[in-house]
């Protein structure tokens, strides 16, 4: 009997930087989880993973090295589900990613998936988690969960459109400049053992939505503005003289599926930076919300995004770049990433939005969470999602000082929002 | 029942023993302290950080340095049928090797005298290298020039380290001391050259670095003594 030919995929345009930018103890990972009403049965969860993973050929993969580019190759073995650890996202090494770039974890009532960012973005990861949890509920409770609201049918073959690199598909002719001034960097004492602090703020979603609408902004814009105000306060303490202060900017990912008709389950997000220049004067929250809102309006348009996609895709398509051996590309990309990759913003705020699940799943799913890993130079990151009437803000940091979280939640408290906190502090 | 942080005003989940924002201990009289709530993540288990053994790093380092030494020796010998220039290459590489070797060997040992060991070993290897050059070139300057210049240089470095570590000097004053030392060292070098090779007493070039070093040192000492001036200058010239 002949050996099965393993499916392979090129890395999409956004994913190409991640393997090159890696460090010995750091890889760009994120985590999405769902908390159910009962303790998780690992045997059933394993069966669910075995059924679901073949439906996602771009996720059940490992990273492999070609002569000119990295690529993804289907894993021969379904990964075993693992018990969650005290410090999520921090201990997936590059050698692990080359065996399997996804982890399925369980702890008490929670199912979590941790994904290497080269495979997919938050949207793709969320669809995978929804499908996995739906399958788990079917097997555990015998519930008939329909394949709607982002739950995919495991009996179907994957749609080729789900595997496409949409960046290449929606690339145009006009390029946009990447030039941007550097931003203020939040510094701190790095945790020596790589511990990743996670602080979760739990808020009433309707209160936050109402407040955001009162300021004439979306929730992401409002939270981004509040974050900018908190960073401003932080910078004021570090640099008492205004002329010495640097731009305060936040990186916000945009789900391009909302602008382009893509079904891709791979990376299809672009980031834009939004922020203010504190050297120009003092700002009120109303001003910052207005600036953030208008900057978002300027950036999040199909034409602008297409121009930025074109810039990225054209770089990858330069003949000389293509024929350079991978190890040279790695050196060059790492240098570029180190020099400019994380210097344009203080941190990232990624909002997955309101999580929709089929009605049949709502009974069993109590909570959802989205956690981003820390970057190499950006020590803080923030991920947001809303499930039901609860908004979860997950802060991650790899430094000892919780100064940004302190400022941010204190700021929201001052605005009159009620916050419940939990964390993985030791 | 949920507790609130008395400092931040945020509500805390039952799993929180202290506020994750400000580390204020949670005290809720209505909840017994021993009641264990389910934590959002598994309990912390310290993991010993992976350590690379020094021995293997030193072996790799030695092999890396041996490669160019061997290649240059083979190349030199095959061309000249004896060692002509490869000795200089090997000696130069040995200086770098000794510097890195000592740094790795003493790293993480928390020895107060670690810098002295480094300087001692490097002085010794440098003298060895100069001795080799004197021997190859049939020179007569090892005891008259090389030994005093290298030893006095090492003494100046030791003095700078001692001043920084134990002298309780500010960074500016340490820099001032180093500049004064550097100026004086230039003077000593010229005097040694004059004694060893020229048999003359006139100073030609060393007065310039000597004067510059000492003037800058005095300037820095003056600035250091006036906090207001120091702050004003820092504000004007920060990088």
Listed by start position, the domains of chain B span 1-42, 55-139, 140-239
> By CA distance, what is B44's nearest residue in A?
A86
pLDDT score recorded for residue A260: 94
Q: How big is the A-B interface in CB pairs under 8 Å?
A: 80
A37 near B CB under 8 A: no
Q: pLDDT tens across B46-56, in order?
A: 766 667 788 89
Considering only CB atoms, A84 lies closest to which of B10, B20, B42, namely B42
Name chain B contacts of A414, Cβ cutoff 8 Å: none
B6 near A CB under 8 A: no
Position B111 pLDDT exceeds 60? yes
Residues A19 and A69: their CA atoms lie apart, in Å, by 10
Calculate how close chain A gets to B178, using CA atoms only, in Å.
Answer: 30
Q: Right CATH number for A197-423 from 3.40.640.10, 3.30.559.30, 3.40.50.1970, 3.30.200.20?
A: 3.30.559.30
Calculate how close chain A gets to B37, using CA atoms only, in Å.
Answer: 12
pLDDT score recorded for residue A93: 76
Contact A136, A281 (CB under 8 A): no
Q: Are strands A269-276 and A248-255 parallel, antiparallel or unpaired?
A: antiparallel
Name chain A contacts of B9, Cβ cutoff 8 Å: 410, 413
Residues A203 and B22: their CA atoms lie apart, in Å, by 19
The number of beta carbons lying within 10 Å of the beta carbon of residue A73 is 14
Position B30 pLDDT exceeds 80? no
For B125, the 3-state DSSP assignment is: helix
pLDDT score recorded for residue A1: 47
CB contact under 8 A, A422 and B15: yes
Name chain B contacts of A422, Cβ cutoff 8 Å: 12-13, 15-16, 20, 40
Calculate how close chain A gets to B15, using CA atoms only, in Å.
Answer: 7
Calculate how close chain B gets to A423, using CA atoms only, in Å.
Answer: 6
A8-157 and A197-423 have identical folds:
yes
A33 near B CB under 8 A: no
User: Bridge partners of A420?
Assistant: A202, B11
Name chain A contacts of B47, Cβ cutoff 8 Å: 193
| CATH superfamily to which A8-157 belongs | Chloramphenicol acetyltransferase-like domain (3.30.559.10)
Position B239 pLDDT exceeds 60? no
The number of beta carbons lying within 10 Å of the beta carbon of residue A153 is 12
pLDDT score recorded for residue A264: 92
A409 near B CB under 8 A: yes
CB contact under 8 A, B49 and A193: yes
B12 near A CB under 8 A: yes
Name chain A contacts of B42, Cβ cutoff 8 Å: 83-86, 107
CB contact under 8 A, B16 and A421: yes
Name chain B contacts of A244, Cβ cutoff 8 Å: 238
Considering only CB atoms, B47 lies closest to which of A193, A199, A413, namely A193
DSSP A122-158: HHHHHHHHHHHHHHHHHHHH-----S-TTPPPTTSPP
Calculate how close chain A gets to B239, using CA atoms only, in Å.
Answer: 10
B37 near A CB under 8 A: no
B24 near A CB under 8 A: no
B82 near A CB under 8 A: no
Considering only CB atoms, B8 lies closest to which of A85, A409, A425, namely A409
B43: left (phi over 0), alpha (psi -120 to 50) or beta: beta
Non-local CB neighbours of A139 within 8 Å, separated by 6+ positions: A44, A47, A48
Contacts 24+ apart (CB under 8 A), B164-167: B165/B112, B165/B115
Q: Which token pair is A57?
A: 């050929």
The CA distances from residue A419 to A33, A256, A289, in Å, are 21, 31, 21
Q: What are phi and psi of B203, to 5 degrees?
A: -95, 130
Q: pLDDT tens across B200-224, in order?
A: 778 889 999 999 999 999 999 999 9
Per-residue tens of pLDDT for chain A, all 426 residues: 455 667 888 999 989 888 888 877 778 899 999 999 999 999 999 999 999 999 999 999 999 888 889 999 988 888 999 999 888 887 677 778 888 889 999 999 999 999 999 999 999 999 999 999 999 999 999 999 999 999 999 999 888 899 889 998 888 888 888 788 888 888 888 887 888 899 999 999 999 999 999 999 999 999 999 999 999 999 988 887 777 788 999 999 999 999 999 999 999 999 999 999 998 889 999 999 999 999 999 999 999 999 999 998 998 889 998 888 999 999 998 888 887 777 888 999 999 999 999 999 999 999 999 999 888 888 899 999 999 999 999 999 999 989 999 999 999 999 999 999 999 888
CB contact under 8 A, A87 and B41: yes
CB contact under 8 A, B41 and A192: no
CB contact under 8 A, A87 and B46: no
A415 near B CB under 8 A: no
Position B177 pLDDT exceeds 80? yes
CB contact under 8 A, B8 and A192: no
pLDDT score recorded for residue B34: 58
A413 near B CB under 8 A: yes
Run of H or E including A314: helix A302-317
A76 near B CB under 8 A: no
CB contact under 8 A, A425 and B43: no
Listed by start position, the domains of chain A span 8-157, 197-423
Name chain A contacts of B45, Cβ cutoff 8 Å: 86
Name chain B contacts of A83, Cβ cutoff 8 Å: 42
pLDDT score recorded for residue A176: 82
Torsion of CA A393, A353, A101, A57, to 10 degrees: 160
Average pLDDT, chain B: 87
pLDDT score recorded for residue A2: 52
Half-sphere exposure of A402 (CA within 13 A, CB side): 21
Q: pLDDT tens across B50-108, in order?
A: 677 888 999 999 999 999 999 999 999 999 998 889 999 999 999 999 999 988 888 87
pLDDT score recorded for residue B47: 67
Contact B118, B106 (CB under 8 A): yes
The number of beta carbons lying within 10 Å of the beta carbon of residue A20 is 18
- ∠ CA A365-A371-A376, nearest 5°, is 170
Non-local CB neighbours of A257 within 8 Å, separated by 6+ positions: A123, A263, A264, A268
Residues A310 and B41: their CA atoms lie apart, in Å, by 42
B26 near A CB under 8 A: no
CB contact under 8 A, B22 and A402: yes
Write out residues 217-256 of A within 8 Å (CB-CB) of B.
241, 244
What is the ipTM score, two decimals? 0.81
> By CA distance, what is A403's nearest residue in B?
B21
Name chain B contacts of A402, Cβ cutoff 8 Å: 20-22
pLDDT score recorded for residue B53: 84
Half-sphere exposure of A311 (CA within 13 A, CB side): 11
B202 near A CB under 8 A: no
B23: left (phi over 0), alpha (psi -120 to 50) or beta: left
A198 near B CB under 8 A: yes
Name chain A contacts of B18, Cβ cutoff 8 Å: 425
A177 near B CB under 8 A: no
Interface test with A, best of B13, B41, B238 (most A CBs within 10 A): B41
Residues A376 and A391: their CA atoms lie apart, in Å, by 27
């Amino acid at each position: 009997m002949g050996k099965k030919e393993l499916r392979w995929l090129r890395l999409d345009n956004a994913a190409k930087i991640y393997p090159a930018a890696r460090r010995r103890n750091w890889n760009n990972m994120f985590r999405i989880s769902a908390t159910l009403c009962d303790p998780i049965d690992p045997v059933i969860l394993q069966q669910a993973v075995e059924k679901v993973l073949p439906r996602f050929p771009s996720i059940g993969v490992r990273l492999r090295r070609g002569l000119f580019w990295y690529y993804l190759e289907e894993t021969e073995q379904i990964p075993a589900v693992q018990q969650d650890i005290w410090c999520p996202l921090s201990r997936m090494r590059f050698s692990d990613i080359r065996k399997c770039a996804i982890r399925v974890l369980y702890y008490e009532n929670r199912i979590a998936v941790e994904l290497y960012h080269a495979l997919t973005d938050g949207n793709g990861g969320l669809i995978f988690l929804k499908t996995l949890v739906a399958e788990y509920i079917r097997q555990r409770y015998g519930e008939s969960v329909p394949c709607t609201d982002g739950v995919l049918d495991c009996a179907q073959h994957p749609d080729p459109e789900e595997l496409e690199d949409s960046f290449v598909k929606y690339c145009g002719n006009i390029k946009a400049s990447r030039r941007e001034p550097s931003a203020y960097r939040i510094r701190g004492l790095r945790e020596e053992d790589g511990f990743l602090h996670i602080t979760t703020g739990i808020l009433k979603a309707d209160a936050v939505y109402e407040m955001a609408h009162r300021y004439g902004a979306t929730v992401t814009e409002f939270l981004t503005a509040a974050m900018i105000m908190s960073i401003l306060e932080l910078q004021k303490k570090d640099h008492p003289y205004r002329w010495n202060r640097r731009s305060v900017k936040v990186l916000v990912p945009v789900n391009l599926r909302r602008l382009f008709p893509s079904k891709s389950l791979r990376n299809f997000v672009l980031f834009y930076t939004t922020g203010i220049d504190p050297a120009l004067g003092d700002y009120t929250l109303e001003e910052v919300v207005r600036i953030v809102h208008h900057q978002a309006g300027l950036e999040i348009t199909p034409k602008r995004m297409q121009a930025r996609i074109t810039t990225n895709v054209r770089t990858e398509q330069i003949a000389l770049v293509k024929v350079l051996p991978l190890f040279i590309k790695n050196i060059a990309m790492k240098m570029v990433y180190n020099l400019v990759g994380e210097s344009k913003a203080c941190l990232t705020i990624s909002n997955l939005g309101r999580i929709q699940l089929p009605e049949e799943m709502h009974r069993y799913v109590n909570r959802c969470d989205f956690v981003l890993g820390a970057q190499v130079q950006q020590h803080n990151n923030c991920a947001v999602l809303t499930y039901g009437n609860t908004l979860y803000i997950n802060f991650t940091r790899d430094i000892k000082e919780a100064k940004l979280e302190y400022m941010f939640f204190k700021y929201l408290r001052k605005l009159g929002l009620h916050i419940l906190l939990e964390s993985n502090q030791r | 029942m949920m507790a609130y942080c008395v400092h931040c005003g945020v509500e805390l989940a039952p799993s929180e023993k202290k506020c994750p924002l400000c580390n204020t201990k949670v005290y809720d009289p209505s909840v017994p302290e021993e009641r264990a709530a389910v934590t959002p993540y598994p309990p912390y288990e310290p993991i010993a950080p992976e350590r690379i053994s020094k021995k293997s790093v030193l072996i790799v380092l030695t092999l890396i340095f041996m490669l160019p030494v061997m290649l240059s020796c083979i190349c030199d010998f095959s061309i000249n049928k004896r060692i002509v220039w490869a000795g200089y290459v090997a000696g130069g590489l040995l200086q770098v090797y000794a510097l890195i070797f000592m740094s790795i060997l003493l790293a993480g040992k928390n020895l107060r005298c670690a810098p002295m060991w480094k300087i001692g070993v490097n002085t010794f290897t440098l003298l060895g290298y100069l001795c080799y050059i004197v021997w190859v070139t049939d020179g007569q300057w090892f005891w008259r020039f090389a030994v005093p210049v290298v030893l006095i240089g090492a003494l100046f470095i030791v003095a700078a380290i001692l001043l920084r570590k134990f002298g309780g000097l500010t960074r500016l004053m340490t820099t001032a001391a180093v500049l004064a030392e550097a100026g004086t060292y230039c003077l000593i070098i010229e005097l040694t050259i004059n004694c060893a090779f020229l048999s003359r007493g006139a100073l030609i070039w060393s007065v310039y670095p000597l004067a510059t070093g000492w003037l800058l040192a005095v300037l820095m000492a003056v600035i250091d003594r006036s906090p207001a001036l120091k702050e004003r200058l820092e504000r004007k010239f920060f990088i």
